[in-house]
Amino acid sequence: MTDLSNRKPETGAFFSRDRLWHPPGLTPGYKTSVLRSPQKALLSLDGTVSEITGPVFGHAMLGELDNDLIHNFAKPGESAIGERIIVHGRVLDERARPVAGALLEFWQANAGGRYRHKKESYLAPLDPNFGGCGRTITDEDGHYAFRTVKPGPYPWPNGVNDWRPAHIHFSVFGHGFAQRLITQMYFEGDPMIWKCPIVQTIPDRAAIEQLVAALDWGNTIPMDARAYKFDIVLRGRRSTLFENRMEGN
């Protein structure tokens, strides 16, 4: 693990999480949350060294095809079937500063909405050239990019006729364990977004719209792949002015 930046490491505690913006634990429209949500209040804890530190990953751990889902599971000379897209964007913090060296991991279904997972039984077929996982690390300016096929919507046993919108799951590490975040990216214009009980766990429409990637025509590669732009915002952190100075020090 290496620090990718020459900047002085930041050690301030993180801004408190806005839990009216995030989904609450109990969201009965999403049935599995009913038995998996705590019923007692959370215990508030202003960040100690245990929360403001976190693992940092170096670019050296990445394989050449880690950010290319079209090819990283495909047989030599073959590629995954589906709408070829590039997903790119920046990881920023709440102060709008780039988060360099952030590890992003993503996973998704194939173009037909089928996941490569033993517990998945949807009748849409697997694509023999598509695994569905990838990862990358942001550069000095917080930029990332990967290429994949656009996932299909898929049905799930929640309501009688519930379907997930097309989505890509994102797991994000910032610089502190308290910044750890998993979210989902949706696609501009998908009417399924507004029917989904998982999307609707988020109470604020503006928070949902922040998870919808825009079609980025400017970065679309002619005759090859369309681009979608998806920025991710992690918690900001306080400056360390007047912090942690014990009396007498």
Q: Which are the catalytic amino acids?
A: 115, 154, 164, 167, 169
Report the residue from 81, 124, 145, 233 that binds another protein according to the rule CB under 8 A: 233
220 binds another protein (CB under 8 A): no
| Residues 57-76 contacting another protein, CB under 8 A | 61, 63, 65-66, 72-73
Taking CB under 8 A as the rule, which mask of x and - marks residues 149-188 in contact with another protein? --------------------x-x---xxxx-xxxxx----
Sign, CA torsion 99/100/102/106: positive
148 binds another protein (CB under 8 A): no
Sign, CA torsion 229/130/170/52: negative
64 phi and psi angles, rounded to 5 deg? -60, -35
| Residues 1-40 contacting another protein, CB under 8 A | 1, 3, 5, 9-11, 14, 16-19, 21-25, 27, 30, 32-40
98 binds another protein (CB under 8 A): no
Q: Is the separation of the CB atoms in 144 and 213 below 8 Å?
A: no
* Half-sphere exposure at residue 151, Cβ-oriented, CA atoms within 13 angstroms: 28
Nearer to another protein, 94 or 141 (CB): 94
Tell me the CA distances in angstroms from 167 to 48, 84, 106, 184, one per residue in order. Answer: 35, 15, 10, 6
Nearer to another protein, 34 or 221 (CB): 34
DSSP state of 200: G
Q: Is the separation of the CB atoms in 105 and 136 below 8 Å?
A: no
Nearest approach in angstroms of CB 54 to another protein is 6
- The span of 78-86, 132-140, 143-151, 219-227 binding another protein (CB under 8 A) equals 132-140
The three-class DSSP label of residue 62 is coil
Nearest approach in angstroms of CB 223 to another protein is 27
Rounded CA separation 147/188 (Å): 17
